[in-house]
């Protein structure tokens, strides 16, 4: 199908800027110089990822292409593009906001689903996002017992977060709609790598995606900015 410029929402960015309250800015100043992509760690390993092209599509108003892309979800959030940018465009925030928009369109849920567990199981229950539970199967054997190491180091055997603090962040989560948002996602069970069965392992690799999230119907994403490339796709 031919791309039609009459479909583009060319004042999208102008309308978006005041709504986002300063989270997105300066995109209209983009020179398309490519300094961002030149230093990008994600672009170095996944050739179809290209921050310059995404900014271009955003300013032109080709919203459909940005939001339905896989590339939007390949950013490393390293901020190197912002550090390099001659026009001070903070692209990390664009990615962050655009991902929210993409989720509203039904894209990217397979990724968010995977992450939701960290928020629910760790952040809201314990007050810390990264727990002492080891999720990297390759280091389970080599690692010492954290609670013993903590005690030897003169710390409490477990990182303490008071009940009051946990009650407070739970209330904030409810107040700001984060809890209801997470309920919509459903989340995946975080697997225990030490006792993981082959069946579970399969599930772990193939992220299940809900067909609906609330009222939104979910879709699979597309490689909109070029051939996927990279090691994984080289053979396929």
Partner 1 sequence: MKKTLVIGGGIAGITAAEKIAQNGAEVILIEKENELGGNFAKLTFTFPVLGDAKALLNKEIDATQSLTGIEILKGTTLEKVNGSAGNFTVELSTPAGKRTENVASIIAAPGFHYMEPTAYTEYLYGHSSKVVTSLEFEKMAAEGRLPKGKVNVVFVHCVGSRDKAKGYRYCSKICCSYSAKHAIMMKKTNPESKNYVFYIDIRALGKGYEEFIRSAMEEYNVRYIRGRVAKVLPEGEKLLVRAEDSLIGNPIEVEADLVVLASAMEPPVGSRELAQVLGIETDEYGFFQEIEANVRPCHSTKPGVFLAGSCTQPMEIASAVGMGGLAATEALILAR
Partner 2 sequence: MPRLDIVAQIPKPKQIFLFRSCVASNKYPGTEACGRETLQILGVEPVESDEQTCCGGFVTFANVAAPTASMPAVARNLSLAEEKGLDTCVLCNGCWTFLNEFGHFMNHNEEVKASVNMMMNMMGREYKGTSNVYHIAEMFYRLKDDIAKNVKRPLTGIKIATHYGCHYLAGGKYSAIDDAQMPSYLEELIELMGGTVVPYTANRECCGTGFTQIINGKDSSLEHTQLKLDSVKEADPDLLVVQCPYCHSQLDRVQQQLNYHNAGDYQTPVIHIAQLVGLALGVAVPKLAFAAHISGRERLEKVLDRVGR
Partner 3 sequence: MANNYNNYLEAYGKETSRDAGDRTLNYFSELFSMEIPMSRMMKMMPGMVKFMMAGKGERDDLMKFMPQMMPMVKQAITGKKEE
Asked if 95 interacts with partner 1 (CB under 8 A), we say: no
Strand ranges for the chain from DSSP E: 212-213, 216-217
CA distance 25 to 42: 22
Of 97 and 204, nearer to partner 3 (C-beta) is 97
* Binds partner 2 by CB under 8 A, chosen from 232, 234, 235, 236: 232
* Binds partner 1 by CB under 8 A, chosen from 39, 92, 114, 170: 39
- Contact segment (CB under 8 A) with partner 1 among 26-34, 105-113, 129-137, 170-178 equals 26-34
* Binds partner 3 by CB under 8 A, chosen from 62, 72, 112, 187: 62
CA distance 82 to 91: 6
Q: How far is the CB of 54 from partner 3 (least distance, A)?
A: 14
CA distance 17 to 26: 9
**What is the per-residue burial (b if ≥16 Cβ within 10 Å, else e) of 201-220?**
eeebeeeebbeebeeeebee
Asked if 72 interacts with partner 1 (CB under 8 A), we say: no
For tokens 């983009």, the residue is: 30
For tokens 């796709």, the residue is: 233
- Return residues touching partner 3 (CB under 8 A): 1, 3, 6-9, 12, 15-16, 19-21, 61-65, 67-69, 97, 100-101, 104-105, 163-164, 167-168, 170-175, 177, 179-180, 209, 211, 218-220, 222, 224
């Amino acid at each position: 199908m031919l791309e039609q410029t009459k479909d583009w929402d060319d004042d999208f960015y102008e309308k978006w800027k005041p709504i986002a309250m300063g989270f997105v800015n300066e995109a209209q100043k983009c020179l398309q110089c490519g300094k961002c992509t030149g230093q990008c760690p994600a672009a170095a390993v996944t050739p179809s990822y290209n921050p310059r092209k995404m900014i271009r599509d955003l300013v032109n108003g080709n919203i459909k292409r940005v939001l339905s892309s896989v590339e939007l979800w390949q950013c490393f959030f390293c901020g190197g593009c912002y550090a390099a940018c001659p026009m001070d465009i903070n692209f990390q925030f664009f990615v962050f906001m655009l991902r929210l928009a993409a989720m509203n369109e039904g894209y990217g849920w397979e990724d968010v689903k995977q992450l939701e567990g960290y928020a629910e199981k760790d952040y809201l229950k314990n007050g810390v996002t990264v727990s002492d539970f080891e999720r990297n199967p390759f280091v389970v054997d080599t690692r010492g017992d954290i609670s013993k190491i903590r005690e030897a180091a003169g710390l409490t055997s477990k990182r303490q977060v008071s009940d009051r603090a946990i009650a407070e962040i739970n209330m904030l989560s409810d107040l700001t709609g984060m809890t209801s948002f997470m309920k919509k996602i459903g989340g995946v069970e975080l697997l225990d790598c030490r006792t993981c069965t082959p069946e579970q392992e399969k599930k772990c690799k193939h992220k299940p995606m809900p067909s609906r999230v609330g009222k939104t119907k979910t879709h699979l994403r597309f490689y909109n900015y070029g051939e996927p490339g990279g090691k994984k796709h080289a053979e396929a």
